[in-house]
Structure 1
Amino acid sequence: MSLYLVFDLGNTRLKWAAVESTQNIADRNKKLWAYSGSISTKSFQSPELRAELSDYISKTLPKPDAIGFCCVAGDAAIENLRSLFPQWQDLEWKQLRGSSPYQGLRTLYQDPSKLGADRWAALIGARALSSTNTLVINAGTATTIDLLGGNGVHYGGWILPGLSLMQDSLQQNTVQLPLAVRANKPEAQASFGSTTDKAITGGCDAAQIGAILRAAYLAKTMNHPVERIWLDGGNAKILAQEIKQFPELAILPVEPIEGLVLRGLWAWLLQNL
């Protein structure tokens, strides 16, 4: 049995997971990630916290057979990541980039090297889970919406500010608008906001859903009508609740799924061992 370690270095968080060769990439069981975790990307800049993370992982896991990673947080973050395990210097680190080939999948991006590695990993993860026309949505610091055809073609996508960025920009660039606070258990807002907080959060949610509706419409005009929506990222559950309010989208299988990028890294790593 082999062990694989995968890292997703994002703008906000560093996520990792360990998987065994006996596990199934298409398994949607929440316990798939028997060993996983995350820390903020900002805290990962601290040598002390990196040392703690290295010590924790190396003492919890046996030496992995391979390590795969993707990064959108810059070269310094990659250097910090590669420095984690000096005791495993003989291990080969494999970096997934937007231009990395994956059998059964291709992108129509004009310059694949400019495609975010996390978006590409999420598309690979989605492909490993299903072979239908799919919207792959990562609702994190930024919200990305990508169309993946059942034929394995990535037709491109959109990048827009995530919910927190939208709300922060209003607070930072206006005099009277506060930083909106969401309820601890946010519910879908099916009406206009009657308070400033609800007006802001509802407006930001509406902008995100509007983009998703537009993407579904375009996919249909391209003869690739959306048959499924995968949602990943910190705001996935919020968007899932909102999507249910729209008949055009509610009829689709809409599934928030954790670790779509990690799943894609895993699938790609297996093809490149």
Structure 2
Amino acid sequence: MSLYLLFDIGNTRLKWAAVESTQNTADRNKKLWAYSGSILTKSLQSAELRAELSDYIAKTLPKPDAIGFCCVAGHAILENLQSLFPQWADLQWRQLTGDSPYEGMRTHYQEPHKLGADRWAALIGARALSNVNTLVVNTGTATTIDLLGGNGMHYGGWILPGLSLMQESLQSNTAQLPLAVRQNLSSAQASFATNTDQAIIDGCDAAQIGAIVRACQLAKELNHPVERIWLDGGNAKILASSIKRDSELAELPVEPIEGLVLRGLWAWLLRNL
């Protein structure tokens, strides 16, 4: 049995997971990952925290047979990560990028090398789970919305500020609006807000849902009507709750799923060992 270590290096968080060769990339079991974790990406800038992370992973995990990763956080962060395991210097790190080939999938992106590696990995992850017309929504620092056809074609997508960025921009660029604090993980209220904090939270939620609704409308116009929506990232549960209450989206299968990027990395790595 082989063991594979995967790293998703995002702008805000670094996520990792280990999977065994006996596992299936289409498995939706919540306990899919034999070993996983997450830290703030900026932690890699500290030599002390890098040493702690290296020690923690190396002591918890047997030496993997391969390491796969994707990175959108910049070259310096990537170098810091790759320096973590000198004891595994003989292992080859395999990097998935936006133009990494994957059998059965293609993209309409004009310059595939400029497609975010995390978006491409999430699309591969979605493909591993189903073969229908799918909207892949990643709700991280930025929110990305991508259309994946049942034929394996990526028809493109959108990038917009994530919920936190939207809220922070209002505070930073206005004189009187506060940084709204969400009291729980619930979605926007089904009515107009009657206080400023809630008005900001509900407005930002509505903007995200509006983009998803428009994406579904456009997919239908392109004769690839969305049959499923996958949601990943820190705000997935918030948006899933809102989607299920939207009359135009309520009938669609909507599922928050953790680690869609890692799942895509895994599927890609298996074909590139």
TM-score by length of 1: 0.99
Matched residue of 1:14: which SS? strand
Task: Work out whether 1:246 is the aligned partner of 2:256.
Answer: no
- Shift in CA distance, 51/124, structure 1 to aligned 2, threshold 3 Å: same
Alignment match, 2:108: 108
Paired residue for 1:219?
A: 219
1:187 positional shift: 3.9
SS in 1 for 2:15: strand
Q: Which runs of 5+ in 1 are unaligned?
A: none
Q: State how far apart, in whole Å, the 2-side matches of 1:47 and 1:251 are.
A: 49
Task: Supply the distance in 2 between the matched residues of 1:247 and 1:85 (Cα, whole angstroms).
Answer: 50
Aligned to 1:16: 16
Provide the rounded CA distance (Å) in 2 between the counterparts of 1:188 and 1:200.
10
Residue aligning to 1:43: 43
What secondary structure sits across from 2:249 in the alignment? helix
Aligned-pair CA distance for 1:108:
0.5
The SS at the match of 2:94 is strand
CA distance in structure 2 between the aligned counterparts of 1:12 and 1:224, rounded to whole angstroms: 33
Residue deviations 1:150-197 (CA, integer Å, cap 9, x gap) = 000000000000000000000000011000011124244111111101
Q: Structure 2 counterpart of 1:17, which letter? A: A
Runs of 4+ aligned residues of structure 1 deviating over 3 Å after TM superposition are none
Give the Cα separation in 2 of the matches to 1:27 and 1:108: 28
**TM-score of the pair, normalised by structure 2:** 0.99
Distance 2:188 2:130 in 1: 27
Pair 219,255 (structure 1): closer, same or farther in 2 beyond 3 Å: same
Partner of 1:126: 126
Q: 1:111-260 counterparts in 2 under 5 A?
A: 111-260=111-260
Please state whether the residue corresponding to 1:146 is helix, strand or coil: strand
Higher mean C-alpha displacement, 36-45 vs 186-195: 186-195
Quick one: distance in 2 between partners of 1:117 and 1:60?
28
SS at match of 1:78: helix
Structure 1 stretch 41-50 or stretch 261-270: which is displaced more? 41-50
1:97 maps to what in 2? 97
- Distance in 2 (CA, whole Å) between partners of 1:256 and 1:194 is 29
How far apart are the structure 1 equivalents of 2:45 and 2:237? Answer: 29
What SS does the aligned partner of 2:212 have? Answer: helix
Distance in 2 (alpha carbons) for counterparts of 1:114 and 1:185: 33
Q: Which residue of 1 aligns with 2:26?
A: 26
Moved more, 243-252 or 231-240: 243-252
Distance 2:268 2:94 in 1: 10
Amino acid in the other structure paired with 2:117: A
Shift of 1:33: 1.1
Q: For the residues of structure 2 that align with 1:163 and 1:157, how far apart are their CA atoms? A: 18
SS at match of 1:33: coil
Give identity over the alignment, percent: 81
Q: 3-state DSSP class of the match of 2:38?
A: strand
Distance 1:258 1:184 in 2: 19
What amino acid maps onto 1:92 in structure 2? Q
Deviates more, 1:166-175 or 1:239-248: 239-248
Partners of 2:2 and 2:204 in 1: CA distance: 44
Q: In structure 1, how many angstroms separate the alpha carbons of the residues matched to 2:187 and 2:172?
A: 25
Q: What letter is aligned with 2:11?
A: N
Instruction: Report deviation, 1:45.
Output: 1.1
CA-based RMSD: 0.7
Residues 187 and 205, structure 2, Cα contact 8 Å, conserved in 1: no
